[in-house]
Amino acid sequence: MTVRQQKTVKTLLEAMPYIRRFWGATMVIKYGGAAMTSRHLQEQFAADLVLLRLVGMKPVVVHGGGAEISRYMARLDMGVEFVDGVRVTDEATMEVAKMALVGKVNKDIVGLINRHGGAAVGLSGEDGRLIHATPRDHRDADGNALDLGYAGDVHEINAGVLNLLSEEVIPVVASVGADDEGQVYNINADTIAGELAAALKAEKIVFLTDVEGIYEDQGVEEQPISECDLSYLGALQGAGRITGGMVPKVQAIRTALDAGVHSAHIIDGRVEHAVLLEVLTDSGCGTKVTP
């Protein structure tokens, strides 16, 4: 047996206990960052999902697409406004967001998975009343309410439609929801991922990011934390060491783990086959958070 063959066998044997353990388990995967913009990483992400499905796991993908929304708005000569990192979403912006997220990004991901031999179905929060949304309650430093238009929050998840679909296909969920009157809202994809993982009683929730994991201090990116629990994560947040785009991810992790999800993973989506490395190997490629 050659050295290369030995390495191949070792890798397969290393994956075997994870395949056995997670057979039939639901895993919510928030897709974003470089993995979503690099064609090479897009292909690998799709291949990873198909493999997880073939070995008996049930991946559910959640995605945003803020960069795509901004590109469309620029082409239409529309102004872009953010407040504390949240896109101010008037009626025209919501129309563009829905077009970009549901009509473009979602279908691109579905097509990519299908081309790699999977069977994916695209959804938004409107489909099957999956995501019941409410206007986002956002306040300034003095506690005054700010009107962010159709920026929304998750009020309730109707997990039934995903439970049915995930038995047969890979659901791909765009980050929009709707209220009782059918008004559509743009919702942070991290928030939706956390709520979906909680409602689906998922085994894991995984976030693809552009960092190696969670650091002791985000301002000093040294060696990331390999594993921690919610209380330690809370201490970091309380000390002001969780900032920027990591804030909604940490909140989503708390939502998921408090609801019984067994673990959350912040992984580096710039690493080739990051999802497989995290789910099917001993070493992983990010930070694992447990309750």
Query: How many whole angstroms separate alpha carbon 96 and alpha carbon 89?
Result: 10
Residue 225 near residue 213, CB atoms below 8 Å: yes
In the set 249, 269, 286, 288, the catalytic residue is 249
On the 0-12 / 13-18 / 19+ scale of CB atoms within 10 A, 273 is middle
Q: Which residues pair with 286 in a beta bridge?
A: 267
Query: How many whole angstroms separate alpha carbon 269 and alpha carbon 130?
Result: 27
Query: How many whole angstroms separate alpha carbon 90 and alpha carbon 171?
Result: 28
In the set 64, 65, 66, 194, the catalytic residue is 66
Residue 137 appears among annotated catalytic residues: no
Provide the token pair at 239. Answer: 């000390």
First to last CA, the chain: 43
Pairing of strands 184-187, 176-178: antiparallel
Residue 30 appears among annotated catalytic residues: yes
Residue 58 appears among annotated catalytic residues: no
- In order, the DSSP letters of 98-116 are HIIIIIIIHHHHHHHHHHT
In the set 32, 190, 204, 286, the catalytic residue is 190
Residue 249 appears among annotated catalytic residues: yes
Maximum separation of any 2 CA atoms in the chain, in Å: 69
Residue 24 appears among annotated catalytic residues: no
- In order, the DSSP letters of 64-91 are --HHHHHHHHHHTT----EETTEEPB-H
| Residues labelled catalytic | 30, 33, 66, 190, 249
